[in-house]
Amino acid sequence: MSESPVVPHHIAIVMDGNGRWAKRRFLPRLAGHKQGVDSLRRCARACAQRGVAVLTVFAFSSENWNRPAEEVSGLMELLALALAREVPELKKDGVRLYFVGDRAGLSPKVQGGLAQAEAATAGNDRLILNVCFNYGGRWDIAQAAASLAARGEPITEASLHGAMGLAHVPDPDLVIRTGGEMRISNFLLWQAAYSEFIFSDRLWPDFDESALDEAIAAYSGRERRFGKTSEQILSAHPQPMPG
């Protein structure tokens, strides 16, 4: 019998490729983003079924404001619609929502929708879903340092970590980027210091359960040393002798 794969406690995903998915089908870019919401729904459900405790996704970066105004406004409208449609289902499925990012740059309507979604799912514990919206890794580090300085607290690794937007969850074990690009694009710069990375050629709307299983299997086959040697890891976790 083959051993079951080691399932990451926390998976983070850069959901890239929505626009290209739509372009290949001669559709407007927003159609790709709508399909991306469907893919996120499938992925969240699959993560919960496989025992993943935390899923963090990069939904809208602080750099995305530089995109065409029509696309940005469409994304904001899509967010409002997705919240209205998806939150009841997420609540029923045991998913707890957190929105991580700079809310000061969002409209009062969007801010209210995010707060309501978080409140509606606050009692759930099957899967934590962090949606990074108007988020940037550099912004996260800067805001954490600024908040500590404003409180007159010393800035250390531990205090910075506690002031970050994802302080409520452990750092990601696995970071996946879809769409064929091999960069992290200002995502979780602090938290991904010791994460394993997988870069998938699949566009995000095509990233399905089988692609998730492939990523988990690849992660399971890696040795995470955190600065130690292989021998130290093996001595701390000796392998059982075959029967």
- Catalytic residue list: 16, 64
Give the DSSP H or E segment for 196.
strand 196-199
- The answer to whether 137 touches 171, Cβ cutoff 8 Å, is no
Give me the helices (H) in the chain, please: 18-24, 29-50, 69-92, 108-120, 137-150, 157-163, 209-220, 230-236
188-199 in b/e burial notation, b at 16+ Cβ within 10 A?
Answer: bebbbeebbebb
Residue environment code for 163-181, b if the CB has 16+ CB neighbours within 10 A, otherwise e: bbbbeebebbbbbbbbbee
User: Comparing C-alpha atoms, which of 127, 97, 110, 19 is closest to residue 64?
Assistant: 19
- Partner residues linked to 135 by β-bridges: 61
User: Is the separation of the CB atoms in 216 and 5 below 8 Å?
Assistant: yes
- CA–CA dist 132, 146 (Å, integer): 20
Q: What angle do CA 56, 184, 61 make, to 5 degrees?
A: 65
Query: What's the rounded Cα separation, in Å, for the pair 198 and 178?
Result: 9
